[in-house]
Structure 1
Amino acid sequence: MATKGKKKFGGVKFKFDAEEAPKREEKKPPGGLDNKATLTVNGHEFQVYARDMIVIENLGRGAYGIVDKTRHEPTESIMAVKVNSTEDKRILMDMDVAMRSSDCVYTVEFYGALFQEGDVWICMEVMDTCLDKLYKNKLKPQKIFVPENILSRISFSIVSALKYLQTRLKVIHRDVKPSNVLANHNGKIKLCDFGISGQLVNSMAKTQDAGSRQYMAPERIDPDMSAKGYDVKSDVWSFGITMIEIATNAYPYERWHDMFQQLTQVVKGTSPALPKEKFSEDIQDFINKCLKKNCTERPSYTRLLEHEFIKQHADIGDDDVASFISPIIGDTNSS
């Protein structure tokens, strides 16, 4: 039976029916998630409840959620936890790609996911820093530059991850930039953040506004150049811009104040390039090929991995990267 009554507001009486009153919509977890999950960390499988996760520190905060360094109290396992609202549709793509790429050593390892108070928690491998923070907070202030052999290994890792997404998962990343490339003191370089990745249909993608505009290829900025969509060659451009930034400790374009400035510089202007006096011809050629205005002239991931800049440093491994990065990041693993 309906519960009826009267309420008085400012001398005016209102009738109300409790059963007819609008009810707050209950948030439901996507994909059958619960407030507990079975995670596999370093080969060990255990059940995790949200209440047992203790935040150590914040690792990042962006448009697509926050990432915290977290400790699972019962097992003392340390992991990164990305928190996104269930209302954000990107969370499903992020989980899907992260889970399906778990056997790729060049992408961040996915442990599992759970649901807590309207949010999805994606649990994953914790890394020490991203390349954006590394150069801005550590390298640039100390006037240190990444040597070319380490740049080669970083390039190899990023391109290998992108090639895996394309060939194995039929996915385009669409947000390649320094903050989405992570590193740790063991010399591992890994690609992360798949929330705005897109499924390739006949090798093409169409969504224009996905990703960070500073790293977008010309064909994604100018509608006339992308009427039929774009492909992974747009990620090759983003990778090229990313590598110039990491190599020089500076973003290669002036900051734009409006869309017209971006259109003028990226689409109409000359492509950025590494300073000739500071870099070898091999790395210059490698980057120049990535930043061809005509996307059909940019190399495939396979061709990039076969480039002399990669081949001549093929003996560089994680230990070499670690020997460069570890002293720089020191004990502040989140710096």
Structure 2
Amino acid sequence: MAKVQPELPLDAVQLSETAIPIESTSLSPPKSPRQLPKHLADFKHYVDSKCCYHSVALDSAELADVQPKAAYRCQMKTLMESRDLDWTKKAASWQHETVLFSETLGRAFEDTKRPGRPVGDIWDDYTFDLPSSDSKSTDERPLPECSYLTRCSDCRGKGLVQCQNYECKGSGKITCTRCYGEGKVRTIDYIEYCNCSSGKINCPDCKGGGKIHCSNCKGYGGFRHSVTLRVKWHTCITTLYYQNSFLPEKRMEKAQRVLYWANTQLPWSQNSSIDNFLLSLREDEAHENINLKANLTKQYREKHMKPTSRGSERMRRLICTIERLDFEEVHYTLDEKYVNKRDSTLGQLFMYFHSPCSFLFSSRSSSSSMKNCNIKYGQLRLSEIELYECTANDLIDRGIIGKGSYGVAHKMEQEKSGTMMARVYSNQSVEATEILNELNMFMTENNCLHLIQFYGGLLQEGYCDVFMQLMDTSLDHFYKCVYHKLNQFIPENSVAYVAFTILQALDYLKSRWVISLRSVTPWSVLLSRTTIKLIGFDYKLSTGYFSFSKSGNDIELAVEICQGPSLELTIARLSHHCKEFVNTCLNKDENQRPAYEQLFENPFVQQANEVSQAQHFVAYCSNMIDLVDKTTDTFDQYGFRP
């Protein structure tokens, strides 16, 4: 049985010394966590998002300094061209001619060479169409007028030489192998006369003639020397980074950049002035220690100009693109138990890089969630004199006007000016940077009436938003409504006018910016009641139907397109000139397809090069758009699918 301990009385004085007052207990509410500055709070949120990082040290961090910085990604492309002559030598007939007379020898003789036209300067006397892409490419041009003839030195142009048989030696006879030159064949019983001629027979090599075909010229007597001028192109691409901080190049490459400046000059040569090329480049006033012009000049001379000093290559085109990244250099301090291990002299001072606006729209699905709209350095360029600062309050979404595999189009209104425009959100992230680079060229110079007018563009999270001129509809929607809803045909003269205007736009792109479009479809052509804009002329416009069969899967369709025969337009209601023009454009052999200059000379296109044709098209297009508006609602007009 357990022993019971006696109770001990407790003195009240001792109780007051040992007891803890209720007020001193931890019943009071806990202290709220320390509020960090925004830069450190964002940094802490980033660290917490990583599985193996810890942000405890940032709880006691103090913000020391925030410095705005800038970095530039400068890419320079030079199209390099090399040329050389490829001579080939083939046997050719030689016709004897007495062309020279020698008083010393007292006889006439012929020249052993009959020259053609001189080749001339292979760089200045011959022109080639430059490739539009950066990939390696080649071209060649035979020069038949520069070929020449030479006489064979072995047979002296006769095509025959003395027989080389050791017995014949040009006589045409060799010793008979039956009688061994005796003329008789002796046997045991009798002597038989041989059928040879005095112990000789015809040489089997020259057949008794004493001459054989010259092995050098194959019996032709001479040689034709033909020349082909071969051209090779390759693009020298250099990418350098200039900044006023220490941001790693790998980070700059992955970050979201905006187009700062771009320029293309064609033609370009070693004698062209790089200073004039960079004349429109404005220096960065906020970051004066980044001298872009000096750095680009050095980059051009060392990486592009120097390799051409040996003279075997020449420059043909220069493209320079500059993308800018704005970021902040954030300095902060930690308590004494943390030391900067990379640079011990800094003590408790640390640094990180922060991009405050990695993308310009917080949400791509709703225009009401726009934070800002920094288009073309924060401005919307509506005309040469109209420049507007753009914010979320300045843009009003008027609804969706089109959807497709390329993206979604919204109708937007710029509140300050009242300008209606189209905003196209592209989901083609791979091509977003390329789109903005080309967009900058369209905005700086566009003298073609049939190119759509662009107001600006922006890159966000690898995707692209483009603001452009608002039109009434696309050619794809228009022809589908005409053919399938109204059961009508587009007049042939209107089709000719569409072809003419699109050819003008394509020719302008090729001649001005060396741009060859990879895809030209009715989706790329926009219509209004008064004009038509780039881009596209397609087989479907004349027929109203898809050009290839819709049966089978995508692989079968790809095989039909790539390996099948060229498409052919055979509709009876169309004229001969119309079918000839379309079928010529559909030829899969690129060597058989005509160039833009040849297409302009086609009778089908020439009929549209008149003021009356433009007036007829405007009247027809305006009437048909009004008719479509009356018979369909907005969604049907823009989103109809047959």
Q: Normalising by the residue count of structure 2, what TM-score does the alignment of the two structures yield? A: 0.39
Which string of whole-angstrom CA distances, capped at 9 and with x for unpartnered residues, describes residues 244-263 of structure 1?
20111111211253454235
In structure 2, relative to structure 1, the CA distance for the partners of 1:286 and 1:48 (3 Å cut) is: same
**Structure-2 separation of matches of 1:57 and 1:307:** 42
Task: Name the structure 1 match of 2:534.
Answer: 191
| 1:92 equivalent among 433, 453, 474 | 433
Cα offset for 1:168? 1.4
CA contact (8 A) 2:457 2:465 kept: yes
In structure 2, relative to structure 1, the CA distance for the partners of 1:295 and 1:48 (3 Å cut) is: same
Cα offset for 1:15? 9.3
- Write 1 or 2 for the structure with the bigger share of strand: 2
| 1:46 equivalent among 356, 377, 387 | 387
**Structure-1 separation of matches of 2:383 and 2:583:** 40
Cα offset for 1:120? 4.3
| 1:145 equivalent among 489, 506, 510 | 489
CA contact (8 A) 1:38 1:47 kept: yes
Task: Name the structure 1 match of 2:259.
Answer: 31
Task: Name the structure 1 match of 2:474.
Answer: 130
Cα offset for 1:280? 0.4
**Structure-2 separation of matches of 1:303 and 1:19:** 72
**Structure-2 separation of matches of 1:276 and 1:119:** 42
Cα offset for 1:43? 4.7
1:80 aligns with 2:422: yes
Cα offset for 1:166? 1.6
In structure 2, relative to structure 1, the CA distance for the partners of 1:67 and 1:276 (3 Å cut) is: closer
Amino acid in the other structure paired with 2:472: D
Cα offset for 1:317? 4.5
Cα offset for 1:174? 0.6
CA contact (8 A) 1:138 1:329 kept: no
Task: Name the structure 1 match of 2:583.
Answer: 288
In structure 2, relative to structure 1, the CA distance for the partners of 1:44 and 1:256 (3 Å cut) is: farther
Question: Relative contact order (alpha carbons < 8 A, sep ≥ 6): 1 or 2 greater?
Answer: 1
**Structure-2 separation of matches of 1:133 and 1:294:** 31
In structure 2, relative to structure 1, the CA distance for the partners of 1:20 and 1:324 (3 Å cut) is: farther
In structure 2, relative to structure 1, the CA distance for the partners of 1:288 and 1:50 (3 Å cut) is: same
Cα offset for 1:16? 6.3
SS of equivalent to 1:92: helix
In structure 2, relative to structure 1, the CA distance for the partners of 1:105 and 1:92 (3 Å cut) is: farther
Structure 2, unaligned runs of 5 or more: 1-35, 42-50, 59-250, 261-323, 325-359, 361-372
**Structure-1 separation of matches of 2:621 and 2:409:** 22
**Structure-2 separation of matches of 1:119 and 1:29:** 12
Task: Report 1:52-71 matches (<5 A).
Answer: 52-71=394-413
Amino acid in the other structure paired with 2:495: L
In structure 2, relative to structure 1, the CA distance for the partners of 1:120 and 1:258 (3 Å cut) is: closer
Cα offset for 1:103? 2.3
**Structure-2 separation of matches of 1:42 and 1:310:** 32
Cα offset for 1:305? 1.1
Amino acid in the other structure paired with 2:561: V
| 1:301 equivalent among 596, 603, 609 | 596
Q: Normalising by the residue count of structure 1, what TM-score does the alignment of the two structures yield? A: 0.70
SS of equivalent to 1:289: helix
CA contact (8 A) 2:476 2:523 kept: yes
Amino acid in the other structure paired with 2:587: K
CA contact (8 A) 1:50 1:114 kept: no
Task: Name the structure 2 match of 1:111.
Answer: 455
In structure 2, relative to structure 1, the CA distance for the partners of 1:70 and 1:266 (3 Å cut) is: same
Amino acid in the other structure paired with 2:492: E
SS of equivalent to 2:494: helix
Q: Taking every aligned residue pair, what percent have the same amino acid on both sides?
A: 25
Which string of whole-angstrom CA distances, capped at 9 and with x for unpartnered residues, describes residues 32-74 of structure 1?
5873332332554131424111111212233443221110112
Task: Name the structure 1 match of 2:521.
Answer: 177
**Structure-2 separation of matches of 1:20 and 1:294:** 68
Which string of whole-angstrom CA distances, capped at 9 and with x for unpartnered residues, describes residues 58-97 of structure 1?
1223344322111011211101112246x82422322332
CA contact (8 A) 1:185 1:326 kept: yes
Q: How many residues align?
A: 272
Which string of whole-angstrom CA distances, capped at 9 and with x for unpartnered residues, describes residues 10-36 of structure 1?
xxxx99612799xxx997342258733
Cα offset for 1:287? 0.7
Task: Name the structure 2 match of 1:164.
Answer: 508
**Structure-1 separation of matches of 2:573 and 2:474:** 24
**Structure-1 separation of matches of 2:407 and 2:475:** 19
Structure 1 range deviating more: 172-181 or 58-67: 58-67
**Structure-2 separation of matches of 1:121 and 1:247:** 32
Which string of whole-angstrom CA distances, capped at 9 and with x for unpartnered residues, describes residues 165-214 of structure 1?
2221111211111111111111x22125xxxxxxxxxxxxxxxxxxxxxx
Greater C-alpha radius of gyration: 2
CA contact (8 A) 1:98 1:108 kept: no
Task: Name the structure 1 match of 2:75.
Answer: none
**Structure-2 separation of matches of 1:251 and 1:16:** 56
**Structure-1 separation of matches of 2:504 and 2:516:** 13
Structure 1, unaligned runs of 5 or more: 4-13, 193-237
SS of equivalent to 1:17: coil
Task: Name the structure 2 match of 1:249.
Answer: 544
| 2:618 equivalent among 310, 318, 322 | 322
**Structure-2 separation of matches of 1:147 and 1:104:** 25
